[in-house]
């Protein structure tokens, strides 16, 4: 039970977390991944190496400590965590492992003089409250998904019925249930979880669904990352007829029902969830501006598909910005997407719903530009490919 004394102690540790939270969470991951191999598949080791995962956890722990007495102030953070956990199939038995490693890291990083028995007891109670909250919320999602038409719990085998090269870097995989059963619908913008066994080791990844729900197949479109273990396997080893194990769609970066003009802005493989949004929104007749940026035409995926949609739907206007010019590349501009280009391509009325996705520097720039151009901040929505983090301007 979290007491008032516990709350006061946890909040008193906020300055320590602000100063050294990343060191604490880095040590936490080092302990947990070394001593509990059963949880390693839940974490992308590339995010560990880059420091993104420890930074994201440090930010989450800090926000929780700051708002432990009024969790409603955390806003969408809890929902984002729940959706990410569900997509990777985090289960109740994982929480005690995390809790014990977190408390041990607090003690070892802060030292016994700072991390006294009272501090450890307070954080144990705080973590218990958070674990109960997340376990309950995640079970609600798991149960609702299993009850839904075409839904399931845990992993489900899907057959690769199509493999399509979309660009020099991106390949699409068309997936249908191997059992021939019904297929769960999803909200445009959501992603699936994928579980693989590579060289005897289990790995899990998330991939956005890159076409609107159609009742008979899912499509993911995967960029081959330099040195990417899973993306390289999918590009090189997976063939039509193979089976992949999927977790049900999840995610809260989703297209909201609205009659406002819709603006979809992407860079690189960030186009994938926005394609699903675009296809789902077109029947509504709402005005749509689709803006896509890529390094050059060779790595630009889905241009022909978007062009065909624009030709068939007058309310859709599309714009391409390619950094490097190539003859006949169909670009509307070359170089980086600038404030001036964005001003020209946005609707004159800035009361729009904007969704954007791409590398972090690209999104930080867009967040700033959209605000400067008068798009209401609450209507400019984005998501991170990897661990959630603050999008600094």
* The pLDDT value given to residue 49: 54
pTM score, whole prediction: 0.91
Q: Which domains are present in the chain?
A: 4-147 (1.10.490.10), 156-250 (2.40.30.10), 262-382 (3.40.50.80)
- Whether 64 is catalytic: no
pLDDT tens for residues 54-99?
Answer: 777 777 888 888 888 888 877 788 888 899 999 999 999 999 999 9
Q: Across residues 247-259, what is the average pLDDT?
A: 94
Q: How far apart are the C-alpha atoms of 317 and 332, rounded to whole Å? A: 12
Q: Of how many residues is the chain composed?
A: 393
pLDDT tens for residues 298-343?
Answer: 999 999 999 999 999 999 999 999 999 999 999 999 999 999 999 9
The angle subtended at Cα 249 by Cα 243 and Cα 253, nearest 5°, is: 140
User: Does 206 carry a binding-site annotation?
Assistant: yes
User: Does 290 carry a binding-site annotation?
Assistant: no
Q: How far apart are the C-alpha atoms of 143 and 130, rounded to whole Å? A: 20
* The pLDDT value given to residue 5: 95
Which of 274, 275, 269 has its CA nearest to residue 359?
269
Q: How far apart are the C-alpha atoms of 303 and 310, rounded to whole Å? A: 10
- Whether 202 is catalytic: no
Rg of the chain on CA atoms, in Å: 22
Task: Classify each residue of 359-383 as buried b or exposed e, where b means 16 or more C-beta atoms within 10 Å of its C-beta.
Answer: eeebbebbbebbeeeebeeebbbbb
Q: Is the pLDDT of residue 183 over 60?
A: yes
Q: How far apart are the C-alpha atoms of 391 and 200, rounded to whole Å? A: 37
Q: Is the pLDDT of residue 390 over 90?
A: no
User: Does 208 carry a binding-site annotation?
Assistant: yes
DSSP string, 240-259: TT-EEEEEEEE-S--PPP--
User: Does 254 carry a binding-site annotation?
Assistant: no
Active-site pick, 36, 95, 245, 279:
95
User: Does 387 carry a binding-site annotation?
Assistant: yes
Active-site pick, 64, 127, 138, 382:
138
User: Does 205 carry a binding-site annotation?
Assistant: yes
User: Does 51 carry a binding-site annotation?
Assistant: no
């Amino acid at each position: 039970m979290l007491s008032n004394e516990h709350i006061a102690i946890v909040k008193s540790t906020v300055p320590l977390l602000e100063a050294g939270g990343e060191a604490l969470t880095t040590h936490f991951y080092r302990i947990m991944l070394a001593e509990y191999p059963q949880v390693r598949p839940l974490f992308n080791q590339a995010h560990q190496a880059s420091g993104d995962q420890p930074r994201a956890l440090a930010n989450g722990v800090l926000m929780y400590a700051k708002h432990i007495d009024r969790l409603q102030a955390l806003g969408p953070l809890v929902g984002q965590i729940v959706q990410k956990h569900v997509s990777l199939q985090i289960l109740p038995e994982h929480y005690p492992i995390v809790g014990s490693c977190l408390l041990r890291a607090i003690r070892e990083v802060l030292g016994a003089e700072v991390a006294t028995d009272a501090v450890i007891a307070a954080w144990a109670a705080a973590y218990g409250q958070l674990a109960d909250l997340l376990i309950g919320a995640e079970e609600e999602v798991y149960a609702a998904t299993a009850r839904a038409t075409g839904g399931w719990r845990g992993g489900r085998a899907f057959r690769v019925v199509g493999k399509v090269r979309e660009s020099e870097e991106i390949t699409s995989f068309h997936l249908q249930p191997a059992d021939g059963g019904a297929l769960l619908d999803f909200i445009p913008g959501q992603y699936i979880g994928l579980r693989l066994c590579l060289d005897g080791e289990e790995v899990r990844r998330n991939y956005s669904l890159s076409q609107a729900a159609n009742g008979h197949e899912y499509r993911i479109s995967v960029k081959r990352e330099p040195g990417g273990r899973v993306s390289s396997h999918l590009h090189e080893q997976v063939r039509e007829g193979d089976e992949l194990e999927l977790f049900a769609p999840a995610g809260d970066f989703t297209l909201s029902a609205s009659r406002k003009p819709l603006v979809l802005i992407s860079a690189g493989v960030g186009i994938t969830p926005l394609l699903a949004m675009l296809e789902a929104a077109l029947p509504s007749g709402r005005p749509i501006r689709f803006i896509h940026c890529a390094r050059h035409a060779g790595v630009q995926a889905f241009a022909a598909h978007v062009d065909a949609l624009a030709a068939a739907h007058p309310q859709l206007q599309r714009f391409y910005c390619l950094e490097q010019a190539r003859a006949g590349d169909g670009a509307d501009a070359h170089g980086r997407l600038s404030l001036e280009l964005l001003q020209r391509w946005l609707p004159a009325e800035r009361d729009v719903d904007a969704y954007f996705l791409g590398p972090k520097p690209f999104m930080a720039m867009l967040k700033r530009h959209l605000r400067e151009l008068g798009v209401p901040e609450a209507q400019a929505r984005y998501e991170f490919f990897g661990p959630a983090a603050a999008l600094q301007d």
